[in-house]
Amino acid sequence: MARHLLLTGASGTLGRMLAPRLVKRGYQVRLSDINPFPDPVPEGATFVQADLADEGAVQRLVEGTDAIVHLGGISVEKPFRPIIEANILGLTHVFEAARAEKQRIVFASSNHTIGFYERGETLSTKDLVQPDGYYGLSKAYAEMLGRMMFDKHGLESVHMRIGSCLPKPTEARHLSTWLSHDDLERLIIAAVEADKTGHAVVWGVSANSRSWWKEDDAERIGYRPQDNAETFAPLPEEGDAITRRFQGGSFTAQDYTRDDR
């Protein structure tokens, strides 16, 4: 069992939620973020402020841990330059450090890797990616980097294509994309503790009756979601025609310039 985890992106919404949960699970957790940790650091955890663009700092972060839960980086759509620095350069530093230390990475990928599929289409993780912006493109890069790292170096990684990870769903799209906080915890624990993962891609989604996402590597790592967004139905539709058309929701509508609205 992995005992000492590195959690990057710890000062973000999901990192702050996960930090005390991982400690409660019995892990020693090294928290890290470019921003200070805004909460009291849980007993059993430490915090190291670091910029993922600093290769040396990343190498030091990874020393002495058993596995990496990588949530760090930009989590919204941005122009390509900041995305490159945080989500591609920083990510590559994390993978290279993990390779040097022979540590498994559990990575926060995203549904925005496939955002331009239309709603209602049922997808497998083997379907081609259709990113809905530079953010989604950076997550697709991470999945490909993980594939190369496994094929070339044997580095294991689990890529969680997170849908809408919220305390509860708030709009109709979430009835298909919701990932409860409890199921995210279950997914991370399964990914960390699996005997072998290889290069795995798993839909980061709860057991939603209306899910668009089916076939993945969840069984391989032992992930079994338990929550269902249908408990909260019905919910209202939100956004413009493009937002409502595609699985990526509002990300697809940002800077959308085609004349087929």
Which residues are known catalytic residues? 135
Coil, helix or strand at residue 67 = strand
Backbone angles phi, psi at 246, to 5 degrees: -110, 155
Residues with Cβ within 8 Å of 116's Cβ and at least 6 positions away in sequence, in order, are 130, 131, 132, 246, 247, 248, 252
Nearest to 136 by CA among 156, 118, 162, 166: 162
Residue 120's region, left for phi above 0, alpha for psi from -120 to 50, else beta, is left
Nearest to 93 by CA among 133, 39, 149, 132: 149
| CA 65 from centroid of its chain's CA atoms | 20
Letter string b/e over residues 23-62, b meaning 16 or more CB atoms within 10 A of that residue's CB = bebebbbbbbbbeebeeeebeebebeebbbeebebbeebb
